[in-house]
Amino acid sequence: MGACCSKGAEVDIDEVNRANDATGGLAEMYEVKHLLGSGSAGDTWLCRDRASGELLAVKLMQRPIPPLMGTNIMREVKIGAQLGKGHLNIVKPRELILTRTHLGLVMEYVAGGNMADYILKTILLKFGSFDTRDGLVMEEDEARYFFAQIIDAVDYCHRNKVAHRDLKMDNTLLDDCDPPRIKLCDFGFAKWWSQEPQMTTITGTPDYMSPQLLGAKACHQDALYDGTKADIWAAGVMLCVMLIGRFPFEGQEMSNATNLEEVSAHVWQQQNKAHWYDNPLIAQDTSMLSSECMDLLNRMFHLEEGQRITVPEIRAHPWYCRPLPPLYDQAMSAIMREQARIDRQVASGAFLNKDRDGALKRMVYLAASRYSPEQDDPALFEECDGAGGGAANGGTSAKPTPGMLRKISLTSVNVHEYEQPGRHTDLATINDFFKQHSPEDGGGISPQTSLHEEQPGHSRIGSSSSSSISSL
């Protein structure tokens, strides 16, 4: 639901600041480098922490944020804070900040761009242009190396009862290791479940959405689907695109689509026409895939949710279990060692803090209002962690900078950091506020507004009308 924390085109920061202070006062705390990207929720900036020197990505959302956006931000931050610290392949949120003009989510910076850019660059390097391809975009070994990391992150989410619901190339970042490591980002459409992963909100990006979602939308029916099986379908689409550079359910008629409703309908119709590999736009490409790879994709693209392959079955599949070449095998071994260390920290309860959620709710609630001078009252910050860490952390109690109203760490295990002065709006009132603006299934966006507001053709790779991509 917005720009991810990876690199993008540079802009003249001085010119932007002079025009409208688009960085929301970040320069008081960070060295603002350049704009990484823009999304429906806000802009994401590359910044360097003045104290540590670390590069960070900061997503800024202008105040007052709409109430429904506040609900989505709360979910993204809470899920990201819970999951990100526990898995190497998920982007880690660091802090939530509030300035007089913006709410900001501070995240780790992932320097290698997203998978969409990686695929496009690979196509240009190997074939010169999209239309002159005469082989696989990625060899199966390279695709399996990336796919194994994606599945491991998705499995971690599902074991923690979270469905991502917007897995796609644009939300899959790569770091600057050689070979790169995967980082999933953007949990704005993600959802927790308690007993069973049955969900009702139609959400996602059309090319990656399962038939259960697109069918309900096309037929104007209520949706009921398994969030984990929707993620598996989307992961299958990603694997297909990594291998052949095309979406499995493209159609010639896509070039005539003028809005998201038509794109969704065309993808759903293609899903139900025939086997995915019979699609004439990709038949020549799929003929280059191994029989084991085809079998895995067939099972990921089973139209019936109940018959679709599960994550444990993917892990046991012959294609998934093939030995990797030394370069990728050594990289995967290093990832597994580092993940084992993180697993031990999670098992010890190192990242749990029940007081954090209340503090986050108060901040997002305040961000839904315009700035007022009363918010500068120092009493509001007596027990909040400032830019340098509070007394409870062994330092002095820091006050906010002139443009900074509040700063909450999403990684601290210090309970005092999340305490709030009594003069704040009581938490019961804030809970009622979020309840009034939450969708029926407890997280997600209404069917009318859930699909990303992108122009048809801008979210596609190798469509019949274009040989380039700008977003996946």
Please list the active-site residues: 166
- Cβ contacts of residue 102 below 8 Å, gap of 6+? 24, 25, 42, 60, 61, 62, 63
Residue 336: both structure tokens together: 């597994």
Residue in the structure block whose two tokens are 């969900």: 199
H-helix segments, 25-132: 67-84, 115-127
Q: Compute CA distances 209 → 143, 152, 231, 232, 301, whole Å.
A: 21, 20, 9, 10, 11
Tokens of 398: 């820091």
**Is-contact 195 126, C-beta < 8 A?**
no
- Do the beta carbons of residue 392 and residue 414 sit within 8 Å? yes
> Burial level of 240, CB count in 10 A (0-12/13-18/19+)?
buried
Decide: 84 and 106 in contact? Cβ < 8 Å. Answer: no
Classify 212 as helix, strand or coil: helix
Tokens of 221: 């029916």
Nearest to residue 71, comparing CAs of 451, 409, 361, 426? 361
Q: Is 404 helix (H, G, I), strand (E, B) or coil?
A: strand
What the block records as the tokens of 68 is 């429904």
Interatomic CA distance for residues 303 and 198, integer angstroms: 17
183-204 per-residue burial string, b: 16 or more CB within 10 A, e: under 16: bbbbbbbbbbbeeebebbbbbb
End-to-end alpha carbon distance in the chain: 13
